[in-house]
Amino acid sequence: MPTHDVNHPMRSSSPTEKLIWVIRAGKNASAHGLFIEKSLIVLGDAGLGDLKELPKERRAFYTLYESKHPDEGFVAVHGIGGKFFRFVHEIRLGDLVLYPCLLDKRVYFGVVTGRYLYDQALDQDYPHRRKVRWDGSFARVSLSQSARREMGAARTLFQFKSHVTEIEKLISKVAKR
């Protein structure tokens, strides 16, 4: 099994390659309004504060999360700390975002247009945010069973890798309408 340096982002060597990210809107789609009405993607507050000042190293995110949640185990610390690291440092302007909505069974797609921002003014529960431009949506059932399984991974934020061509075709179809 390949290993990687925990301080090195898992990103393609090409700085211009656009990646596809899947993000969820929290328990019971509680951030849906922020996503769709405010054109944001957000992460819930884990008591971490503004993450811009942390070193651009995964370990710094793990350490901060662990200091705020000392009863959490290794898997939780690395999973949640890593999620915040990806949100702040790995997602780039121009990357594609997929939001599988539980409310209407559609997958919204858009492009990241803003850098990481910590702002509690709009919603204290979701202060970690980035601007997006939503370009459309398609029915989740339009995806192959395998792509639905990948998109259904039990994580809040992750890179979508295995069915990129399928997603690109669906988006292209929606764009032609």
> Using H for helix, E for strand and C for coil, what is the string for 36-81?
HHHCEEEECCCCCCCCCCCCCCHHHHHHHHHHHCCCCCHHHHHHHH
Find tokens 């949506």 and name the residue. 137
pLDDT at 152: 85
**Domains assigned to the chain:** 20-176 (3.10.590)
The tokens for 105 are 């069974």
Phi, psi of 130 (to 5 degrees): -145, 145
Q: Which tens digits make up the pLDDT trace of 18-48?
A: 899 999 998 888 899 999 999 999 999 889 9
pLDDT at 13: 43
At residue 2, the pLDDT reads: 34
- As a whole number of angstroms, the distance between CA 34 and CA 53 comes to 24
d(CA 129, CA 25): 12
* Coil/strand/helix, residue 163: coil
111 in helix, strand or coil?
strand
Number of Cβ within 10 Å of residue 138's Cβ equals 17
Which residues pair with residue 78 across a beta bridge?
none
Q: For residues 97 and 131, what is the distance between their CA atoms, to the nearest angstrom?
A: 11
pLDDT the model gives residue 38: 96
pTM of the prediction? 0.87
Residues 6+ apart with CB under 8 A from 32: 25, 101, 103
pLDDT higher than 90, residue 12: no
